[in-house]
Amino acid sequence: MHHLTSQMILYSDLPSDSILSCLSGIFAQWENHSLPEEELVAGIYAQTKRLLDLSTTLGFDRNLWQCYLAYVLVSHPNSFSLTCEQQGATAGGTINAIATHEMDLFLRLFHFDFSAIEADLGIRCFSLVTSYHAIPKNELVYHRAVSEKILALTESIASADGAPQVLALLSEYFRLYGMGDFGLYRAFRVAEQENKLRLLPINNLDSVVLDDLIGYETQKAQLRENMDAFVGGYPFNNTLLYGDAGTGKSTSVKAVLNEYWPRGLRVIELYKHQFHLLSPLISMIKARRYRFVIFIDDLSFDEGEVEYKYLKAVIEGGLETRPENIMICATSNRRHLIKETWKDRSDMEHDGDIHRSDTMEEKLSLSERFGCAIRYDTPDRRLFNEMVLTIARRTSGIHMSEEELLLLANKWELRHGGVSGRCAQQFINYIAGKSLSEQNG
């Protein structure tokens, strides 16, 4: 194994603690008789456990070794994968020749014969992980999108007829999905670990689409129009969804992700205390082929908070041109985002016209940098009732007449914050849970 990994160029910088790197080192020590047998076995068992843990998390099946290698191929950044992603086609020239050689090495690793080391050390863990049968998955599999892609690619590579065919398969994968986690996941959170910016995939995504949002037809049309322009490569505006609580602002963003991710949309959620990471985040993603929405939920600033200045500089006004593949999208209960006080209005000038103070102008200028501002109002009683009935029809376990359901819903909203889409959903959750509990109790 070591003689194969030592010839790699594109994948030569795999982390030293990766499963492939560790196993390669163990095999080198076994071949050179440089380590006692019990330490070799302990090392192999440790890497086998890591392989099992990774496979369980990501939903790999059948040949876990081959699934792992396919995962390495698509997740490791290098000049070949990035070229294929950015060009949307197979890389050419010298890099293509290097990649073909690399695919030959990986194909030999795919079909690596572990029988010699197993016989010598009296173990059979490799035989088990290369003919693995996973426990049947239930519907709640957070990494389903990852496992489906990897299992399909694994099967294709395993039956490939030589390195050129493997290269074609991998090129097509990068053309369709892109490279790394952006090709495997739709949404991410930002984390700072050891002074290094990292994007952590979000797996438990809601399956909602815009048509599931009851009412708000004008708002959905505005949102779609701006998003169509964004993913289509045309001029667009940063987006602010503002208005009353529970009216579907955050749900609209989730729905947009589910509808537009096949067209290359990815969402990165950023919290207010992380605004100092905006510039390095943009530098990280601006050269990728995807369309990124940097999503800031429930955005508002109280008096004395100055984090909004980071956001102002990034959205518009700095020296660097805003990358065309990045949109800032925020939700807020406030139209102007920053809390105003009467003190802000004390600095008034009267010279023919009334002019706002410099303080107010600075605060209001943040919301003005969102060119697409969409208001979400509290629904009226008719729309609230429609929400309740529609959600009830989508939910199993509810067996009530419409009259009884609406009577209970209107009593519920009086004690739970008033009419809104969120209140309607919470009411149906309560009714469905109570009904199912009584049936099973």
Please identify which residue in the block is written with the tokens 């050179």. Answer: 32
Q: Give the span between the Cα atoms of 414 and 432, in whole angstroms.
A: 19
- The reply to whether 122 and 215 lie within a common domain is no
The domain in which residue 365 lies consists of: 200-376
Whether 62 is covered by a domain: the verdict is yes
Whether 195 is covered by a domain: the verdict is no
Three-state SS across 256-323?
HHHHHHHHCEEEEECCHHHHHHHHHHHHHHCCCCCEEEEEECCCCECCCCCCHHHHHHHHCCCCCCCC
CATH of the domain at 299: 3.40.50.300
- Total domains in the chain come to 3
Half-sphere exposure of 62 (CA within 13 A, CB side): 10
- The reply to whether 392 and 273 lie within a common domain is no
Whether 129 is covered by a domain: the verdict is yes
Whether 189 is covered by a domain: the verdict is no
Q: Give the span between the Cα atoms of 222 and 390, in whole angstroms.
A: 23
Q: How confident is the model over 219-224, as a mean pLDDT?
A: 95
- The reply to whether 146 and 216 lie within a common domain is no
Q: What is the tens place of the pLDDT at every residue in 374-409?
A: 999 988 999 989 999 999 888 887 888 889 999 999
Q: What is the tens place of the pLDDT at every residue in 131-158?
A: 888 766 554 455 677 888 899 999 999 9
Q: What is the tens place of the pLDDT at every residue in 325-374?
A: 999 999 988 766 555 544 544 545 544 444 445 555 555 666 677 889 99
- The reply to whether 242 and 226 lie within a common domain is yes
